[in-house]
Chain A
Amino acid sequence: MITLNDEQLDLLKEVFNLGVGKAAASLSQLASNKYEVVLTLPKVQLITIEEMVKILEIESNNKITCVSQKYSGPFNGTAHMIYSHMASLRLVSLMLDSKVPEDMISELESDALMEIGNVLINACLSALSKMLNEEIETDLPQIISGPPLAVFKRTNPNLNEQVTFIRSEFTIKEENLKGYISLFLETGKLTKLLELIDKYNKELMGL
């Protein structure tokens, strides 16, 4: 098991905060600036998929919608953006001014959710890419819904795998809508990420 020291954690938090900030602006834009989407300072944890599943099961009422994008660059993996199912339905119907009932999600709503996830993942990864000064390519997004355990058994069969779990709370003030978005990156290649962070750190301090 890899652990991060406070400095490394802070750095990761800072990077994703940049990404999340950018993403919030893009989301507000998607919602035609009718709503201000606020995302809180992200929490970063290194945990196993199993532990993450437990957290999500409780919070999401055991149903999530997950947008996944493969990425490649200095380290490869898949980034997932996770919404609790109910929050995602409300988010979409709000942002779209939709007449579609909140209890059903159609093909086109699922495209829209995919777009929101896509905007967030791209923003976070491009912040990371800028910081590391390394290109991180992303693939087209996929979407999958279901209980957290079933979802991750399909995408990451190894439940003991350690992941970087980043979560941030989003709120849409005007509508009093609150939910979590969670992003996780497989950290199988974490050592490489840590090396790059250390390198960046040293450059920052002029060493």
Chain B
Amino acid sequence: MYAEYELIDKIDSGIIILDSGFEIIFWNAWMENKSGINRENTKGKKLNSLFSSEISSRLVDSIMLAINNGQSSILSDRFNKDLLPLMKDLSSNEIIDQKIKVSRVRTTNNLKHCLIQVFDVTTANQRESYLSQQNKIVKEQIKEIEHSNKLASLGRMASGIVHEINNPVAIIKGYDMAYEIMRKRGQFDQDKIDDMMKKIQQMADRISNIIKGLKIIAHKDTYEFNQLVPIKNIIDESIELSKPKIETTNVIVESDSIHLNYEIWCDPIQISQIIINLISNSIDAISEYPNPWIYISVKTNDKFYEIRVMDCGKGIPPHIVTQIFDPFYTSKKVGKGTGLGLSISQKIAEAHKGELYVDTNAPNTTFVLRLIQSKYWGNT
């Protein structure tokens, strides 16, 4: 076999062995090199008498624990700075970053000794702080890209806003002119004026709705997720609330039988808004079709529930799918939609840690609202 201690002398980390009286009986070459203390000067000495500065009390406690109770400890660099005054190099006073493991070892004649292993983690530390810096830079770059994407969508949005607000403004101006003519001619028809005022009121409401929608998109509104609600109830209620619109068309709206125990933590009014919006969009798209239908179902998928709103349409063309969630994007006839519904719905879904997207693989037009199952809500 090898000469006493030769093997551990060659190990590339610090090794110290103490006897049961806390006195040093071995100090390897690595320790000599990093501490500048020769092995001969350590024999029979206590660890804290070797250094002029104090050694960490956590280390002292761990040594006691190992010798007296046989318990092993790890002292990480993150929680413990400067455990032992070991220098990075002879020219500087910088202490190396270290991790220390302390455990009990027994001699062949059953004496309880303490093994202290010291690891230099300086390089690992530098590497990590470099990586974490790089990570930060990459994240910032991603943010910038996202921002420029937002600007692009803002461009599309601006033309939408102009269009959406111009229309009602033009109508209001028109009525103002009509009133001016009436005034000049001295012909006041009260019924006509009432009718005009009503229409001006409607146009003003329209503008204020657009602005309200913009506000939701611009900053996250606060939601109350404090209700545990069965999805079934939300869907039933949404269909009920959509009845006035459904009944003006031939569209048949049906839902699958949905388990009452499919529950989510949510702001139910907001989730219902999304579904009403999806139903309403579908109706606008398919009401002219022969035998139009909308079918709502719920599936579980991993930790989520997927609410699928499908209609008899044949899907959305791929080049449009990427735009439909942009604010002010609309395929509807002028005056029929503001183009804010889907982008507001998406915001609400995201605020619920969920998603709203188009299932492009489905044979029919299908929107999927993905929400976290209540039992996983707290884990995200």
| A141–B75 CA distance with the chains assembled, in angstroms | 11
| A59–B375 CA distance with the chains assembled, in angstroms | 9
* Contact stretch, chosen from A11-19, A112-120, A159-167, A181-189: A112-120
* Contact stretch, chosen from B33-41, B63-71, B233-241, B261-269: B63-71
Q: Confirm or deny: B121 has a beta carbon within 8 angstroms of a beta carbon on chain A.
A: yes
Contact between B79 and A129, CB atoms less than 8 A apart: no
Contact between A108 and B72, CB atoms less than 8 A apart: no
Chain A residues within 8 Å of B379, by CB: 59-61, 84, 86
Chain A residues within 8 Å of B132, by CB: 99-101
Most central of A59, A119, A140 by chain B CB within 10 Å: A140
Q: Confirm or deny: B333 has a beta carbon within 8 angstroms of a beta carbon on chain A.
A: no
Partner of A109, one of B78, B135, B380: B78
| A130–B336 CA distance with the chains assembled, in angstroms | 78
Chain A residues within 8 Å of B124, by CB: 107-108
Least distance between A139 CB and chain B CB atoms (Å): 6
* Contact stretch, chosen from B43-51, B98-106, B180-188: B98-106
Contact between A140 and B79, CB atoms less than 8 A apart: no
Contact between A118 and B69, CB atoms less than 8 A apart: no
Partner of A115, one of B76, B375, B380: B76
Q: Which of A94-111 contact B (CB under 8 A)?
A: 95-96, 98-101, 104, 106-109, 111
Q: Which A-chain residue is minimally distant from B379 (CB atoms)?
A: A61
Partner of B71, one of A96, A98, A112, A122: A122
Q: Which B-chain residue is minimally distant from A58 (CB atoms)?
A: B375
Q: Confirm or deny: B376 has a beta carbon within 8 angstroms of a beta carbon on chain A.
A: yes
Chain A residues within 8 Å of B72, by CB: 69, 118, 122, 138-141
| A122–B71 CA distance with the chains assembled, in angstroms | 7
Contact between A106 and B128, CB atoms less than 8 A apart: yes
Least distance between A102 CB and chain B CB atoms (Å): 12
Partner of A137, one of B70, B77, B79: B70
Q: Confirm or deny: B73 has a beta carbon within 8 angstroms of a beta carbon on chain A.
A: yes
Partner of B128, one of A69, A107, A140: A107
Q: What string of 1s and 0s marks CB contacts (under 8 Å) between B127-160 and chain A?
A: 0100110010001000000000000000000000
Least distance between A126 CB and chain B CB atoms (Å): 6
Partner of A101, one of B70, B79, B135: B135
Chain A residues within 8 Å of B70, by CB: 135-138
Interface residue count on the A side (C-beta < 8 Å): 37
Contact between A108 and B78, CB atoms less than 8 A apart: yes
Chain B residues within 8 Å of A112, by CB: 76, 78-79
Q: Confirm or deny: A30 has a beta carbon within 8 angstroms of a beta carbon on chain B.
A: yes
Contact residues of A: prevailing secondary structure: helix
Least distance between B316 CB and chain A CB atoms (Å): 33
Least distance between B294 CB and chain A CB atoms (Å): 34
Partner of B78, one of A59, A69, A104, A111: A111
Q: What string of 1s and 0s marks CB contacts (under 8 Å) between B212-232 and chain A?
A: 000000000000000000000
Contact between A139 and B79, CB atoms less than 8 A apart: no
Contact between A108 and B65, CB atoms less than 8 A apart: no
Chain A residues within 8 Å of B73, by CB: 115, 118-119, 122
Chain A residues within 8 Å of B75, by CB: 115
Contact between B74 and A115, CB atoms less than 8 A apart: yes
Chain B residues within 8 Å of A125, by CB: 71
Q: Confirm or deny: B56 has a beta carbon within 8 angstroms of a beta carbon on chain A.
A: no
Q: Which A-chain residue is minimally distant from B302 (CB atoms)?
A: A62
Q: Which of B65-118 contact A (CB under 8 A)?
A: 65, 69-79, 99, 101, 103-104
Q: Which A-chain residue is minimally distant from B65 (CB atoms)?
A: A122
Least distance between B125 CB and chain A CB atoms (Å): 6
Least distance between A177 CB and chain B CB atoms (Å): 12
Most central of A60, A122, A129 by chain B CB within 10 Å: A122
Given contacts A30-B79, A96-B79, contact A111 B71 (CB under 8 A): no
Contact between A61 and B76, CB atoms less than 8 A apart: no
Further pairs besides A108-B77, A108-B125, A137-B71: 9, Cβ < 8 Å: A69-B72, A84-B379, A111-B74, A111-B121, A115-B74, A135-B70, A136-B71, A139-B103, A141-B72
A residues adjacent to B (C-beta < 8 A)? 30, 58-61, 69, 84, 86, 92, 95-96, 98-101, 104, 106-109, 111-112, 114-115, 118-119, 122, 125-126, 129, 135-141
28 contacts between A and B (CB under 8 A): A30-B79, A58-B375, A61-B303, A61-B376, A84-B379, A86-B379, A92-B78, A100-B128, A100-B132, A101-B139, A106-B128, A107-B124, A108-B78, A108-B121, A111-B74, A111-B99, A115-B73, A115-B74, A115-B75, A115-B76, A118-B72, A118-B73, A122-B71, A122-B72, A122-B73, A137-B70, A140-B103, A141-B72
